[in-house]
Chains A and B, each alone.
Chain A
Amino acid sequence: MPDGLILWVTNLLLGMGIIATLASLVVHKIPLLWRYQLPVKISAILLLVAGVYLRGGYGVEMAWRERVREMELQVQQYEQLADDLNKKLAAAEKNKITYIQGRVEIVKQYIDREVKVYDETFRPGGVCEIPKEFVNAHNQSAAKPEAKK
């Protein structure tokens, strides 16, 4: 409901409550109405109480809405800044990964150019055979560790 409409309704109710309460103080002096002074007084009090209650509620409602607006603004600002940080992080990550992938390719080319020539020397049964224990040790190191549960 719009703020203005809520304020208007609560003020109207409070005003009517005040007028009715004041009127109930003099109702016994009016010849035709003095018989109804008790119901009039009760109605006036109820109207006044409802008016005061709603006017107080309006204050709380407005404070609450203001707080919601503040929070929404904060959340919006937070999400924007978080998005900026994410973009920076993604860019830095992409640079590092690209660099690592470039480097692995350079090393691969070096191996193909400089190390491959020793393949014959280190082949099985060759001059310097690579022991199977070396291969086993490497594979054991590279194997995914599976901790016992």
Chain B
Amino acid sequence: MKYVLIAFCLVLSGCWTVPVVPDFPKLPEQTVMNIPCPDLRVLKSDPTISDISNTLNLNYHTYYECAVKVDSWNKWYLDQKALYEKTIKK
């Protein structure tokens, strides 16, 4: 009888995993990060000098807007990773 009791006591412990996991981090609500970068503008045939300047201006603007999106993605990833490691994986 005592051996049966000892055997049962030994098997009482078990392995458990906690079924609580955070959701995948969300993007900010008001963001342009998820809008794809547009194509650059090309010049129409026989452009004037102001057409060229305007097209260059818009293309540079497009580049800088797209750079903001890429930088935001990088910052978002690094921030969320650091936060996850600090609060969940500690």
Give residues in A with beta carbon < 8 Å to B. 45, 48-49, 52-53, 56-57, 59-60, 63-64, 67-68, 71-72, 74-75, 77-79, 81-83, 85-87, 89-90, 92-94, 96-97, 100-101, 103-104, 107-108, 111-112, 115-116, 118-119, 121-124, 130, 132, 135, 138-139, 142-144
Contact = CB atoms under 8 A, between A and B. Distances in A.
Interface string B49-88: 1101111011111001100110010011001100110011
Contacts of B30: 90, 94
Contacts of B23: 79
Contact of B68 (A64, A78, A79, A96): A96
5 contacts: A57-B12, A74-B87, A81-B87, A119-B48, A139-B42
A142 B41 contact: yes
B14 to A, nearest CB: 6
Contacts, number: 144
A145 B52 CA distance: 21
B18 A52 contact: no
B19 to A, nearest CB: 8
Interface string B14-26: 1010111111011
Contact of A60 (B16, B26, B39, B76): B16
A103 to B, nearest CB: 7
Q: Is the interface of A mostly helix, strand, loop or mixed?
A: helix
B67 to A, nearest CB: 9
A90 B43 contact: no
Given A49-B5, A86-B28, A139-B42, A93 B50 contact: no
Contacts of A90: 28-31
A70 to B, nearest CB: 8
Contact of A49 (B4, B16, B31, B32): B4
A79 B23 CA distance: 8
A109 B57 CA distance: 11
Contacts of B31: 89-90, 93
Nearest to A137: B43
B39 A144 contact: yes
A37 B61 CA distance: 94
A75 B22 contact: yes
